[in-house]
A and B are shown apart, each in its own frame.
Chain A
Amino acid sequence: MAIDRSNIGDASEPITFDVERGAVVRLAEAIGDDQPAYAEGAAAPPTFPTTFNFRLPVQSLRAIDPSRFIHGDQEYVYERPLSAGDRITCVAKIADVNEKETRLGTATFVVVETEGRDEADELVFTGRATVILR
């Protein structure tokens, strides 16, 4: 199973997630981040949108053995902070695909863009990741 440029534009269905305080606290604990605002439910760690990514099935990516992926880079742009109680509707799509030579041989670089909107359909964050498929 491979990914090529014909997969550019492949997108997940929109999925709506409730940002739960317990999930915020568990992520902060795993990071070892003792920021009080997270336990208080006032904010979420900046990398919280990552918890949505693995629940947004882009079929062409879902079909591949996950252990073949390595995360190359990640960007998040925030229109406002996330916090417990938010309901965020997310979509992920393949924005670009390129073959490149790496130290570990030829690999496929897949750029995945994600966006999250709140219940008023206002943009909350956008994500852009490069995942390297070996």
Chain B
Amino acid sequence: MNVGDELTPLAKEPVTRLQLVKYAGASGDFNPIHWDPERAEEMGLGGVIAHGMLSMGFLGQYVAGVAGPENVRRLQVRFGAMVRPGDELTCRGTVRSVDGDRATLDIWAENQNGEQVTTGEAEVDIG
């Protein structure tokens, strides 16, 4: 892993309403904005939105896939744009720095329009 390296992207299947229901059940996050269209509409969201943590989950999958699940030391993301059912996210990343056995990665998930919806960084052990 060298500074400036571009990591192999991870293209996820389109987000589905069923996936949001599964994610609600698996995570315990039953906020109705993720599964109840009427409530999401009332809250001014124009329909259900995906859990931010689902896209962070995609990035966790990405980083653990690159470095090995036992080597992930830190994950940090900011939820910048809403993700809706039908959106197709691709996880991408680059190596920002390497310090001994520790690498810092810039990571992000972008949608089918190339918009970065979730952005952040990860630290992984590469020893």
Contact = CB atoms under 8 A, between A and B. Distances in A.
Interface of A: 23, 26-27, 29-33, 35, 37-38, 42-47, 50-51, 53-55, 66-78, 81, 104, 134
Contacts of A77: 73-74
Interface residues of B, number: 42
Interface of B: 12-13, 19, 22-23, 25-33, 39-40, 42-44, 51-54, 56-58, 60-61, 63-65, 69-70, 72-79, 120
A31 B54 contact: yes
A92 B39 CA distance: 27
A67 B53 contact: no
Interface of B is mostly: helix
Interface of A is mostly: mixed
Contacts of B64: 33, 35, 43, 45-46
Contact of A73 (B54, B57, B77): B77
Contacts of A78: 72-74
